Amino acid sequence: MSAVEQYARAHVVTDSPEDADAVPVVLRYDPAGDPRSVRVGLPGPSEWVFPRDLLEQGLLAPVSRGDVTIWPCGRVQAVMELHSPQGVAVMQFDSKELLRFLRRTYMAGTPVPR
């Protein structure tokens, strides 16, 4: 079993048109650590850890647990809302990037036959 790390781009949702650029995000999964969790690393030291099934369910229908809410946005995008004492971050992803990451996490958790 091996760790999965995938880079993605997310659009930060704000009221300001100047902040419409995509930001780099790192999606991580380590089955040796907690096989039920995924990590989302934002620019800077911010990293969010939440259940992998929350990400999977959030691609199909709105779902929320603790400080993380995920919901589909149309047919090809998903929105992730992260709450912290510093504020709220709302990011929009291409769903296919998140689906590719999820597939890779399930493949990483399965031993490869010899």
Predicted confidence (pLDDT) per residue in 41-63, tens digit: 988 788 899 999 999 999 999 99
Question: Would you say the pTM of this structure is higher than 0.75?
Answer: yes
Q: Which residue has the tokens 């850890």?
A: 49
CATH of the domain at 59: 2.30.31.20
Total structural domains within the chain: 1
Res. 112: pLDDT tops 60: no
- The single-letter DSSP state of residue 13 is P
Res. 16: pLDDT tops 70: no
Residue-number span of the structural domain to which 89 is assigned = 4-108
Region of residue 112 (phi > 0: left; psi between -120 and 50: alpha; otherwise: beta): beta
Residue 101's CB is within 10 A of a number of other CB atoms, namely: 22
Segment 82-96 shows an average pLDDT of 89
Segment 22-40 shows an average pLDDT of 92
- State how far the Cα of 82 lies from the Cα of 32, in Å rounded to an integer: 25
Q: For position 12, what pLDDT does the model report?
A: 83
Q: For position 20, what pLDDT does the model report?
A: 60
Res. 111: pLDDT tops 60: no
Which residues are CB-neighbours of 31 under 8 A, at least 6 positions away?
1, 2, 3, 105, 108, 109
Q: For position 45, what pLDDT does the model report?
A: 80
**Cβ contact 82:25 at 8 Å:** no
Q: Tell whether 114 is covered by a domain.
A: no
Q: For all residues of the chain together, what is the average pLDDT? A: 88
Res. 114: pLDDT tops 50: no
- The single-letter DSSP state of residue 54 is H
Of 71, 32, 65, the closest CA to residue 50 belongs to 65
Q: Tell whether 113 is covered by a domain.
A: no
